[in-house]
Amino acid sequence: MKAAYHALVLVAAMGMVFPTVADDSTVGALTIEDAWARASAGPAKTGAAYVTITNGGAETDRLIAVTTPVAKKAAVHAHTMDGGVMKMRPVEAVEVNPGEPTVFMPGGLHVMLMGLKAPLVEGNTFPLTLAFERSGIVEVRVRVLGVSAMRHPEHHGKGGSGS
């Protein structure tokens, strides 16, 4: 009985220390959902992950860092038009305003995965940790979809990528 109590206390303590892990997660006033990535094309060493972040609070928050064990480096990037040419640029932080979803999607904001340690395989999942200025840290499971996917299949029309 005593061993079971100690195990329960340890599990509860770990829950307080480690970030939440789920397909859709919340941290503070933020909800993170529809986390997905495309399967790798051949031996590609880069990939991208996409999420939708909704702020149900009254104050703007900011996504300030991203990490994942599947790549040597992860960073938020945005596509921009420059003289009629689409370019990709790193983004230092992303504001998440109350009441309007922040949608990461192909051709827009995305989490760039650089130095993939193994190919992203359709049907698999991987952890992605998001750090927010106000709300703290949360870990979500990213579902790997087909190489030609344009959005998460459970995307509920929250703005974004169409198709």
Quick: pLDDT tens for 66-103: 999 999 999 999 988 788 888 889 999 999 999 999 99
Instruction: Report yes or no on 61 lying in a domain.
Output: yes
Distance between CA atoms of residues 37 and 21, nearest Å: 17
Q: What is the CATH number of the domain that holds 96?
A: 2.60.40.1890
Instruction: Report yes or no on 5 lying in a domain.
Output: no
Q: pTM of the predicted model, to two decimals? A: 0.78
pLDDT band for position 24 (50/70/90)?
confident
Per-residue pLDDT, 2: 43
Instruction: Report yes or no on 163 lying in a domain.
Output: no
Distance between CA atoms of residues 73 and 46, nearest Å: 10
pLDDT at 39 over 70: yes
Average pLDDT over residues 43-58: 95
Q: Determine the structural domain holding residue 51 and report its residue range.
A: 21-145
Instruction: Report yes or no on 118 lying in a domain.
Output: yes
Structurally, the chain folds into a number of domains equal to 1
Tokens, residue 16: 């307080």
Instruction: Report yes or no on 9 lying in a domain.
Output: no
Instruction: Report yes or no on 11 lying in a domain.
Output: no
Report the 10 Å Cβ neighbour count for 39.
Answer: 18
